[in-house]
Structure 1
Amino acid sequence: MINTNTNKRIKLFNIDIDQLTMKETVERIGQWLLSDEIHNHYVVTPNVDHIVNLHSNVQFKQAYSGASLVVADGWPVVLTSKLLGRPLPEVVSGSDLVPALFDYFQHEKSRPLRVFLLGAMPGVAEKAASNIHDNWSQVQVVGLFSPDFGFEKSEQASLHICQLVSEAKADVVIFGVGAPKQELWSKQYAKQLNTKVILCVGATIDFLAGEKARAPMWVRKIGMEWLHRLMTEPKRLAKRYFVDAFIFPVLVFREWKEKF
């Protein structure tokens, strides 16, 4: 296992990103989860849309600064790091990280992994839980909850979620309500969840439930999963991708200009 006291990070787009492979990321999180200590770590996965929003959202950036791990979700971020001479080893997407973590515990027989699914539309987490139990016998879904729209603005609703997670005695929370909501909420309430790790991983619960289809592996390997998602969810993603396509190159140019 890797040494969790070693923190390899680069500065990119004015945030610190961990220089970790998928294997190293899983091992680090695995060590946290196998420990008897509760540190309420939360993990964030910056992609192009995050980078664009971090540029103008101060609270979002503050939430990132409080994260225990920041791993790059998307080939554009990794490619930019290499072009600027501060290379990240590979893409560590949230939707791949969660199954990889489950695989890790499938082979780690000392104890099962207790999971709380927080997010997705009503009924979706139940499907995800069923699929998880079918595929990973060492992973136990001990709780699930689909928050109402606007829950993050209600202290009462937020504390209710904290109570549900704490009572479930979950090791890890798979948190999927979209950015920046999930990161801002984790920054504010992580210490009240009484759990070891919170993974801010967007649509991962939908993928686990089979509600949304992942791109074929060859598409992911060539860094074109974003195009697959745009084609499958054009109404939701077209505007976001259009804005990102204009702003992200500007941010890359600024990074390049500062370096050279």
Structure 2
Amino acid sequence: MNNKIELFGISIHRLTMLNTLDILQEWLEYGDYDCKYVVTPNVDHIVLLDKSSAFKQAYSEASIIVADGKPVVMASRLLGKALPETVPGSDLVPNIFEQFQQKKLPLKVFLLGAMPGVGEKAAVNIESQWPLVKVVGTLSPEFGFEKNHIDCEKICRTVSDAEPDLLIIGLGAPKQEIWVNKYSPLLKVKVALCVGATIDFLAGNKPRAPVWMRKVGLEWLHRMCSEPKRLVKRYLVDAIVFPRLFLREVLKSFER
């Protein structure tokens, strides 16, 4: 876990998907209920991190940071500190379920996020495909909940009372990372994963990109075409800002 690189002002672990799964399995089987949380930086995160001190703070206290976006991995290789591969949150979650199922290990999960009804649909799909994975609770918080400390404490109690091993948080970045960083002391879970739209994917509410698009780093294009009103502006901004941030990293490397 000490094998990290420094990139775009954050530390990123040099872990493969298999490495990450093995670490998470150990924590979920034998770890304490101390809410170790995992974040997965992509291009949008890198752009947001450059502007938000609270987001950076959440990243600095994360237990695992693994690259989600292929441009982040490509940047690491061009800068001579190569990350082995991407570990997307939307792949990490079903891979955890599959690993526990194959090893005949029970796993208790709580789904926090997505629109009302989506978590329940995802729970049905999860338990159907991975019978040893038990969804012990779902919750779709009201819009703006993160601004109300009392509401947040109630959510923490609801999650903790369900006694899950794994908390899957799908609130979108940077809200999910900042929230779990602030409230992790109140969350009685072993591991929390900040994984964006993954609950929607598990519910079948949003389509995943075809495998070939994921392999060549075009999942962002599929998502943008699926949700143009929400994502076109974001990706246009990212396309302008990320190259500037990469150039800044290049210049830093010459200064060393």
TM range (shorter): over 0.9
TM-score normalized by the length of structure 1: 0.96
Q: Cα–Cα, structure 1 residues 255 and 135, in superposed 2: closer, same or farther, change >3 Å? A: same
Q: Distance in 1 between matches of 2:52 and 2:31?
A: 35
Q: Is residue 107 from structure 1 mapped to residue 102 from structure 2 by the alignment?
A: yes
Q: Distance in 1 between matches of 2:137 and 2:190?
A: 15
**One-letter code aligned to 2:139:** F
Match in the other structure for 1:12:
7
Q: What are the residue-to-residue correspondences of 1:91-130 with 2, within 5 Å?
A: 91-109=86-104, 111-130=105-124
Match in the other structure for 1:71:
66
Q: Distance in 2 between matches of 1:43 and 1:9?
A: 14
Match in the other structure for 2:251:
257
Q: Distance in 1 between matches of 2:30 and 2:51?
A: 37
1:31 pairs, out of 9, 26, 35, with 26
Q: Distance in 2 between matches of 1:210 and 1:10?
A: 35
Which 10-residue stretch deviates more, 37-46 or 116-125?
37-46
Q: Distance in 2 between matches of 1:89 and 1:103?
A: 22
Number of equivalences: 254
1:176 pairs, out of 170, 179, 191, with 170
Q: Distance in 2 between matches of 1:32 and 1:256?
A: 36
Q: Is residue 158 from structure 1 mapped to residue 146 from structure 2 by the alignment?
A: no
Q: Distance in 2 between matches of 1:36 and 1:100?
A: 19
Match in the other structure for 1:200:
194
Match in the other structure for 1:85:
80
TM superposition shift of 1:36 = 4.8
TM superposition shift of 1:191 = 1.6
Q: Is residue 229 from structure 1 mapped to residue 237 from structure 2 by the alignment?
A: no
TM superposition shift of 1:39 = 2.3
**One-letter code aligned to 1:17:** I
TM superposition shift of 1:40 = 1.1
Q: Cα–Cα, structure 1 residues 108 and 191, in superposed 2: closer, same or farther, change >3 Å? A: farther
Q: Distance in 2 between matches of 1:107 and 1:158?
A: 35
Indicate the SS of the match to 1:212: coil
TM superposition shift of 1:7 = 2.1
1:243 pairs, out of 237, 240, 243, with 237
TM superposition shift of 1:143 = 0.5
Q: Is residue 137 from structure 1 mapped to residue 158 from structure 2 by the alignment?
A: no
Q: Distance in 2 between matches of 1:38 and 1:127?
A: 27
Report percent identity of matched pairs: 58
Superposition RMSD in Å: 0.8
Q: Distance in 2 between matches of 1:131 and 1:87?
A: 36
Indicate the SS of the match to 1:43: strand
Q: Distance in 2 between matches of 1:103 and 1:54?
A: 32
Q: Distance in 2 between matches of 1:44 and 1:162?
A: 19
**One-letter code aligned to 2:193:** L
1:148 pairs, out of 135, 142, 149, with 142
Give the ranges of 4+ consecutive aligned residues of structure 1 lying more than 4 Å apart after TM superposition.
none
Q: Distance in 2 between matches of 1:27 and 1:160?
A: 32
